[in-house]
């Protein structure tokens, strides 16, 4: 079966991501963890897939968590919001995820908050970042008394070859998946009133579960069927609402680079997604499988002769109306595990194309690297 061959080669990068998280330096992580654990309010900052990894991992944290796009965020930027936050909370933690440490928006936010802290002599803020390059602009915040930086390996631009793709993932998935796992387990430890050491114990346990889930999915008939259809002249739309939308976004961004190289497109569900047509693919993510908008999208897709697949958390209407794979998990773990399960999909599509003799153009490979450094 094709899945057995896939499972041994194309998912090695997942093991690398897990290993990198386990190798995070405890002396760096302890003050970082304590700053987040002690905070009354946490502000999230990131871009692209790094942002999605942060949002998924920190989602459902039992603390006040804000993003600068929230309707109730007290300002159009961190400078406007800082004095309001300072009056309302005793301890505010900015939490940044940026593999390069040079990502535009997080870099600006860190600079603005640094300037505010220095100017106002504020003692209520901490700036806490996960980066792959501690010499970067964001990484250097560790030089400040209020700055905590965790170095997470995994960002490697040397992925120009087929083997490079399969080892490191499209656009360096090792970093994004590793940061997602780190945030997920940090959240669980904080929600359970545990200390920083519990994070690494949880990572060790979770790594075994993730490996089993990913291998079970990539060896499934559904996975092979999706790959078969992705090879054809078809568009794929990834769909979800709430936390599931962040998982869908991570996958859509990665699939888009491969599909576009062969003349097709990948989309995220919503206003800018195209109307379904015969042969197109809709892939939905839902914990309950009962979310009405997803059921409506499923019905419309099938009406026009499209194909519908889903990953759900339980037997449900969506699982019955689509070709579905069930990952039975608690709500706080479901989305992390779905993100890992879906991560090999673009890689195995690349592998298929190479086996067919289709070589991704060099300019596309270079674009992937540039795009990653800009948007992560």
How many Å apart are CA 322 and CA 291, to the nearest integer? 14
Q: Which element (helix H / strand E) includes 127?
A: strand 125-131
Which band of pLDDT confidence, cut at 50, 70 and 90, is reported for residue 167? very low
- Please tell me the least confidently modeled range out of 16-20, 42-46, 164-168: 164-168
**Over the stretch 67-111, which tens digit does the pLDDT of each residue have?**
999 999 999 999 999 999 999 999 999 999 999 999 999 999 999
pLDDT of 104: 95
Question: If you average pLDDT over residues 274-279, what whole number do you get?
Answer: 92
Enumerate residues 6+ apart whose C-beta is below 8 A from 282: 236, 237, 239, 269, 276, 297, 298, 301, 306, 307, 308, 309
263, exposed or middle or buried, with CB in 10 Å at 0-12, 13-18, 19+?
A: exposed
Residue 37: pLDDT band with limits 50, 70, 90 = very high
Where in 178-306 does DSSP place strands (E)?
236-239, 266-268, 281-286
**Are the beta carbons of 246 and 276 closer than 8 angstroms?**
no
Predicted confidence at residue 361, as pLDDT, reads 58
What gap in Å lies between CA 160 and CA 30, rounded to an integer? 36
Every domain of the chain with CATH number 3.40.50.10490 lies at 2-211, 215-375
Give CA angle at 300 (298, 302), nearest 5°: 70
List helix spans (H) across 89-195.
104-120, 162-168, 173-191
Rounded average pLDDT over 106-126: 97
* For residue 374, pLDDT beyond 80: no
pLDDT band at residue 204 under the 50/70/90 scheme? very high
pTM (predicted TM-score): 0.89
Is it the case that residue 268 has pLDDT exceeding 50? yes
| CATH number, domain 215-375, options 2.60.40.650, 3.40.50.10490, 3.40.50.720, 1.10.10.10 | 3.40.50.10490
pLDDT value at residue 297: 96
Report percent pLDDT > 90 for the chain. Answer: 75
CA atoms of 368 and 279, how far apart (whole Å)? 27
Numbers of helices and strands, H then E, in the chain? 16, 10
Alpha carbon distance 354, 262 (integer Å): 12
- Which residue, 195, 196, 199, 289, is CA-closest to 244? 289
Domain range 2-211, its CATH number among 3.40.50.10490, 3.20.20.450, 3.40.640.10, 3.90.1150.10:
3.40.50.10490
How confident is the prediction for the chain on average, in pLDDT? Answer: 88
Tokens, residue 324: 């579905």
pLDDT band at 185 (very low <50, low <70, confident <90, very high): very high
* pLDDT at residue 164, as a whole number: 46
124 in helix, strand or coil?
coil
Rg of the chain, C-alpha, whole Å: 21
pLDDT value for 34? 98
- Predicted local confidence at residue 156, as pLDDT: 60
């Amino acid at each position: 079966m094709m899945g057995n061959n896939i499972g041994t080669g194309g998912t090695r990068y997942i093991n690398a991501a897990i290993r990198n998280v386990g190798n995070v330096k405890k002396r760096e992580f302890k003050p970082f963890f304590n700053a987040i654990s002690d905070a009354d309010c946490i502000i999230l900052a990131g871009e692209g897939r790094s942002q999605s990894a942060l949002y998924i991992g920190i989602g459902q944290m039992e603390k006040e968590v804000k993003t600068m796009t929230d309707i109730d965020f007290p300002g159009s930027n961190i400078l406007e919001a800082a004095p309001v936050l300072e009056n309302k909370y005793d301890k505010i933690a900015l939490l940044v995820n940026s593999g390069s440490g040079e990502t535009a928006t997080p870099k600006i936010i860190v600079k603005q908050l640094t300037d505010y802290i220095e100017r106002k002599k504020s003692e209520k803020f901490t700036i806490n970042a996960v980066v792959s390059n501690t010499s970067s602009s964001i990484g250097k915040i560790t030089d400040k008394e209020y700055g905590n930086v965790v170095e997470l390996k995994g960002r490697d631009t040397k992925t120009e070859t087929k083997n490079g793709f399969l080892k490191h993932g499209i656009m360096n998935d090792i970093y994004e998946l590793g940061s997602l796992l780190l945030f997920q387990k940090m959240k669980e430890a904080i929600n359970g009133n545990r200390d920083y050491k519990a994070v690494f114990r949880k990572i060790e346990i979770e790594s075994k579960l993730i490996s089993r889930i990913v291998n079970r999915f990539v060896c499934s008939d559904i996975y092979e069927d999706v790959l078969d259809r992705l090879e054809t002249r078809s568009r794929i739309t990834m769909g979800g609402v709430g936390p599931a939308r962040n998982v869908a976004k991570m996958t859509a961004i990665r699939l888009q680079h491969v599909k576009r190289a062969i003349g097709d497109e990948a989309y995220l569900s919503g206003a800018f997604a195209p109307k379904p047509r015969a042969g197109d693919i809709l892939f939905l993510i839902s914990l309950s499988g009962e979310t009405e908008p997803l059921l409506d999208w499923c019905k419309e897709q099938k009406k026009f002769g499209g194909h519908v697949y889903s990953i759900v958390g339980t037997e449900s209407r969506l699982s019955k109306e689509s070709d579905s794979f069930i990952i039975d998990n608690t709500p706080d773990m479901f989305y992390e595990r779905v993100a890992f399960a879906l991560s090999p999909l673009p890689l195995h599509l690349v592998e298929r194309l190479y086996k067919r003799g289709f070589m991704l153009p060099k300019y596309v490979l270079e674009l992937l690297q540039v795009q990653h450094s800009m948007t992560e």
